[in-house]
């Protein structure tokens, strides 16, 4: 059963500026900025511009994500990326509170399929066998319940209530030990801990990068986001947001999926030169009800 809520169109601007203390050259970079297109999401518009400019090459990775690759050989002391998207997001499919008798058996049997192997084993940031995670699970009495969906929702609520969302408390390279030991982190950390525990319990689970749209009609927000998707028999991949203790809905715009953040960072690259770099990131997301006869105006808020 699906929600009766209408689809929503988001205009998204994602700006990144790398500044170098002295000129560098031979910059090469991959980008994951184009939202996913599937039955729930339709990408109406997408563009990426860079300064210095040049050719962008698109590719599809092992997880089905659409990414871009670029290289800029000339010297530069600044590198800017500006991605613009218009995405229509339909309401999410409603998942029942419980899957019913035999759900764990069906799930564990299906999870042995080769395609689920990457989402049931350790990756760079998702560490099911991490000893600090083991202590956390034991201390908080976390165990699978009698139904997989109820188990996931209970874990999501527990993490939301246990951790404190604290911007700047971790970095993109922080291991799960940081949030487990301090109790503070951001959405990426919440997702990595949740995925680690779910894989520990044998539930296929993947990391999702994207954006969280504003709740109000014409409001503008500036927020990248991350959450998890679990696979269940019959229901398929289903999203859960531990940062907000919520099922994924029409506010969640999916950009890429992977084992963890390391598979799908917005940017990843190298350059030649000894200069240190600093990154300034600005995101603007505006929400509008779709109008088939009206054009989509982008939000130009300088955030």
Handedness of CA 207, 210, 211, 212 (dihedral sign): negative
Question: Most distant CA pair in the chain: distance in Å?
Answer: 63
Mean of pLDDT values over 247-269: 96
pLDDT at residue 184, as a whole number? 98
With bands split at pLDDT 50, 70 and 90, how would you rate the model's confidence at 51? very high
State the pTM of this model. 0.92
CB 244 within 8 A of CB 228: no
Name the β-bridge partners of 47: 84
pLDDT at residue 89, as a whole number? 95
The C-alpha angle 68, 74, 75, rounded to 5 degrees, equals 115
Alpha helices in the chain (DSSP H): 103-110, 131-139, 148-162, 176-182, 187-200
Q: Say if residue 295's pLDDT is above 80.
A: no
% of the chain surpassing 70 pLDDT: 92
Q: Say if residue 57's pLDDT is above 90.
A: yes
pLDDT at residue 88, as a whole number? 96
CB 189 within 8 A of CB 227: no
Point out the least confidently predicted range of 22-36, 128-142, 213-227: 213-227
Instruction: Work out the angle between the directed axes of helices 148-162 and 187-200 (0-180°, nearest 10).
Output: 140
**Residue-range domains of the chain with CATH:** 8-90+264-288 (2.60.40.2250), 103-263 (3.10.620.30)
pLDDT in tens, 165-221: 999 999 999 999 999 999 999 999 999 999 999 999 999 999 999 999 997 665 787
pLDDT at residue 217, as a whole number? 61
Q: How far apart are CA 181 and CA 136, in angstroms?
A: 9
pLDDT in tens, 81-107: 999 999 999 988 888 888 888 999 999
Which residue has tokens 């009206």?
A: 294
Q: How far apart are CA 81 and CA 15, in angstroms?
A: 6
With bands split at pLDDT 50, 70 and 90, how would you rate the model's confidence at 160? very high
């Amino acid at each position: 059963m699906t929600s009766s809520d209408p689809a929503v169109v988001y205009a998204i601007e994602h700006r990144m500026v790398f500044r170098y203390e002295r000129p560098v050259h031979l910059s090469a970079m991959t980008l994951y900025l184009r939202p996913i297109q599937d039955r729930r999401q339709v990408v109406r518009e997408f563009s990426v511009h860079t300064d210095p400019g040049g050719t962008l090459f698109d590719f599809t990775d092992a997880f089905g994500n659409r990414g871009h690759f670029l290289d800029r050989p000339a010297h530069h002391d600044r590198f800017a990326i500006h991605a613009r998207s218009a995405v229509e997001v339909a309401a999410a499919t409603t998942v029942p509170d419980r899957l019913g008798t035999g759900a764990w058996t069906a799930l564990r049997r299906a999870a042995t399929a080769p395609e689920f192997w990457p989402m049931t084993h350790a990756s760079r940031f998702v560490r099911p066998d991490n000893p600090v995670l083991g202590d956390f699970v034991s201390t908080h009495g976390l165990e699978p319940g009698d139904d997989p969906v109820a188990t996931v929702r209970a874990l999501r609520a527990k993490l939301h209530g246990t951790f404190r969302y604290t911007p700047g408390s971790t970095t993109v390279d922080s291991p799960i030990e940081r949030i487990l030991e301090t109790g503070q982190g951001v959405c990426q950390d919440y997702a990595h801990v949740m995925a680690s525990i779910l894989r520990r319990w044998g539930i296929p689970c993947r990391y999702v990068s994207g954006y969280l749209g504003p709740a109000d009609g014409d409001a503008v927000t500036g927020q990248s986001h991350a959450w998890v998707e679990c696979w269940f028999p019959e229901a398929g991949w289903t999203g859960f947001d531990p940062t907000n203790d919520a099922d994924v809905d029409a506010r969640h715009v999916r950009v890429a999926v992977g084992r963890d953040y390391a598979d799908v960072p917005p940017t990843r690259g190298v350059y030649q030169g000894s200069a240190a770099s600093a990154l300034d990131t600005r995101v603007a997301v505006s929400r509008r009800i779709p109008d088939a006869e009206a054009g989509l105006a982008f939000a130009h808020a300088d955030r």
